[in-house]
Amino acid sequence: MILALGFAGLVGYASISDYKPAPTTLVFSNKNARIIPESKIYTLIAWNIGYGGLGRDMDFFYDGGKQVRPQKKIVKKNISAIETFISRQTGIDFFLLQEVDKKSRRSYYFDEVAKIAGLFPGFHSSFGKNYDVFFVPVPPASPLGAVLSGLQTLSRFEPVLVIRHSFPGNYAWPQGLFMLDRCFLVSRYRLDKKRELLVINTHNSAYDDGTLRSNQMAYLKNFLIREYEKGNYVIVGGDWNQCPPGFNPEFRQNLMDKKNRMDIKKDYLPDWQWAYDQKIPSNRRLAAPYDEKTTLTTLIDFFLVSPNIEIKKIQGIYLNFEHSDHNPVKLEVKLKD
């Protein structure tokens, strides 16, 4: 009876305190932001840093492993290594990061958002919250606890506007009380002739039967079409939790993960361009610590760009999943006249 009352109290409080974001949330605004150059080649990096808790030695309970969180010293080491890598990426104009913790028990309450922003004092940093739960009660023997995490976009240029857009749908009650509230973060930059460059940081759903991801992709598609029809330039990057259309892996040394594989439909946006490096996996399974010979890997981190943008180079950066369960992806583009 005590256990039942305790669980009922937990669910009740979670229902009252549940983070329910609006369809759109203003993150930043400056109508006087400067016009950015159009002739420049822009360089972007997208990386899910796994909050510093999903390094090569980690197996995660939610993915079939046993561990909930690594030791504090390991998380600290991972975060430090992630910061070192990011700080050495000279010439990058935009960083699109996912799973950046602000105040979470799983990462020992390190403020990763502030630490990463501090690496680039001249850059603009925006944070879009997508996980805000006072207590995640699983697994029962060692609960994950409080989580405050989300997307972080760093840019060399100051945006006119940054808006958090909620993806539609979520898990059913009560599971949805303790899951992520997925979103994409839109940063707008001024161009001449009243046009804009939109840089979108996305992190789509995982662990669902595909319904949530399909609804999210339909919602995003409508948004992208509207913006392109205005004459704007659009770049979307991040962790899509699905493979790009027609993806045919050519991994040099890793095994491809075909379990529960979900691909974006080929006719999603026919005239738009998908940018990915088919030779470098961007994500690994967390059922066991990473082993190059046996761990299943896939490619779910990539970019989508509008037809008025020219792709100059796309490169997966192989970090051997040392400090995150994802590898970063680097893109170079140029805006067409």
Residue-wise pLDDT for 161-214, tens only, equals 999 999 998 876 666 677 899 999 999 999 998 999 999 999 999 989 999 999
The SS3 call for residue 331 is strand
Domain ranges of the chain: 2-335
CATH number attached to the domain at 2-335: 3.60.10.10
pTM > 0.85: yes or no? yes
Averaged over 100-111, what is the pLDDT? 98
Q: What is the pLDDT of residue 230?
A: 97
Q: What is the mean pLDDT of residues 310-332?
A: 98
Query: Is pLDDT of 13 > 80?
Result: no
Indicate the DSSP class of residue 176: G
- How far apart CA 42 and CA 335 sit, in angstroms, is 9
Of 113, 54, 45, 53, residue with least CA distance to 283: 54
Q: Where residue 239 falls among pLDDT bands split at 50, 70, 90?
A: very high
Instruction: Report the distance separating Cα 232 and Cα 9, nearest Å.
Output: 49
For the chain, give the mean pLDDT.
Answer: 94
Backbone angles phi, psi at 108, to 5 degrees: 60, 35
Q: Does the pLDDT of residue 131 top 90, yes or no? A: yes
pLDDT digits (tens, 9 = 90+) for 32-77: 999 999 999 999 999 999 999 999 999 999 999 999 999 999 999 9
